[in-house]
Amino acid sequence: MNSTPSQFPSTLNRTHDPAATSWVASAQAAGTDFPIQNLPFAVFRHRDSQEGFRGGIAIGDQVLDLWDLTRSDLLDGLALQAAEAGAKSSLNALMALGPKAWSALRHAVFDLLHSHASAVVQQKMLLCLEPQAEVVYSLPARIGDYTDFYTSIYHATNVGKLFRPDNPLMPNYTWVPIGYHGRASSVQVSGHSFKRPRGQVLPPGATEPVFSACKRLDWELELGAFIGPGNALGEPVALDQAEDRVFGLCLLNDWSARDIQAWEYQPLGPFLAKNFATTISPWIVTMEALAPFRTPLERPDGKTDDLAYLRSEANTEQGAIDIRLNIGLATEAMREAGQLPHVVCTTSYRHAYWTLAQMVAHHTVNGCNLQSGDLLGTGTLSGPTLDQAGALLELTQGGKVPVSLPNGETRTFLADGDEVVMRGWCERPGSARRIGFGECRATILPALI
């Protein structure tokens, strides 16, 4: 296993300067997700057009079109090479280039969008901007494989208590970053709708299953990690080089059919309960943008004796990231009344038991070859208190305690017409501007008859 020193975790540089401003006025707006310190990537095209999708970078309420930028005379060298890779219909080619290329493009775009840029530069850059309100998004990458982990000990314990009150946490949990192979083909970008799934369920008190529409449909509040350069088959990635393989993070909602899951998950784990839909945000926030929000890995059990391939000083000291997350619910009646989604959970990625680097290192330790554009899910990111629970299954204690909404409606699990909206952001007063992820939104349609 390669033990060469790495840049893990990313160090701070001028692109993190909290005093930096952009000549794009909306990048300074209060509460914006996309200041000049962020510069996340997505794939987009103009709304109602038949033009091809291409990569873009968010700045304020605008999208910087990488296709147009490559045709200006504003980039050269490695930054131009990276922009050309990012201007394609997916970001896979850019992801494959690695951290040096990503950083070169980030620094170049930062300078071009900075308020100190010349009038000539600003005029040329204006020709490369599109209002976000006038674009639609595609999946940011061709996702070859999707693995979902189980990195929150709070979620694992909360769910375990529902089914195994005397033994909620399985003994392997604190040793193994547990995951399962998901379905890449059903991953969709924010804004889509999907039909309520159907499958086999075992009614309460019954001895034989029936085929029916899911009655216990749930969300799971997660982050997704897109892999950059892959590793060769048979060559594991060492822990302190693992984040060099990660292009960035997005929001991820791993929809779950709890009644289907309860009947099918033994002995091989999730199948139809999970593979019908996964929603991700269009914007991928790079690891470099997240550098100011590093935090120590802190575990409620204080465990530090991970096996050697999952343990390092750097991972312990700064392997976690304080990404704040919330999830809101808007019923059909709420939307008709003009009511905004009601936030039912707020938590943070810093509570995860296993770090991003540990996910990558464990995934490859047996020689598994990750590829550019592969997607890793963190699993539900619940915090230490019930109001930080990232799934309805936990919030309602298995459907026993309904969640109350502002208009008097209640939910134990999701109803047809419900819209679920996830948001994520990083904020640390005095050290960096707010770095946001946009939103991850989807609506549930009735099942097929």
Residues that are catalytic? 155
| Residue 104 φ/ψ, nearest 5 degrees | -60, -45
Alpha helices, DSSP H only, in 114-152? 119-126
Q: Cβ-count burial of 63 within 10 angstroms (0-12 exposed, 13-18 middle, 19+ buried)?
A: buried
The single-letter code of the amino acid at 227 is: I
Q: Cβ-count burial of 407 within 10 angstroms (0-12 exposed, 13-18 middle, 19+ buried)?
A: exposed
Strands 410-411 and 179-181: unpaired
Q: How many Å apart are CA 398 and CA 419, to the nearest integer?
A: 21
| Residue 286 φ/ψ, nearest 5 degrees | -75, 160
Conformation bin of residue 191: beta by default, left when phi > 0, alpha when psi is -120 to 50: left
E strand or H helix that includes residue 160: helix 153-163
Q: How many Å apart are CA 56 and CA 69, to the nearest integer?
A: 10
- 199 contacts 448 by C-beta, under 8 angstroms: no
Q: Looking up tokens 């000539």, which residue turns up? A: 120
Count of alpha carbons within 13 angstroms of residue 281, beta-carbon side: 28
- 141 contacts 86 by C-beta, under 8 angstroms: no
The DSSP call for residue 365 is: T
Q: How many Å apart are CA 181 and CA 376, to the nearest integer?
A: 9
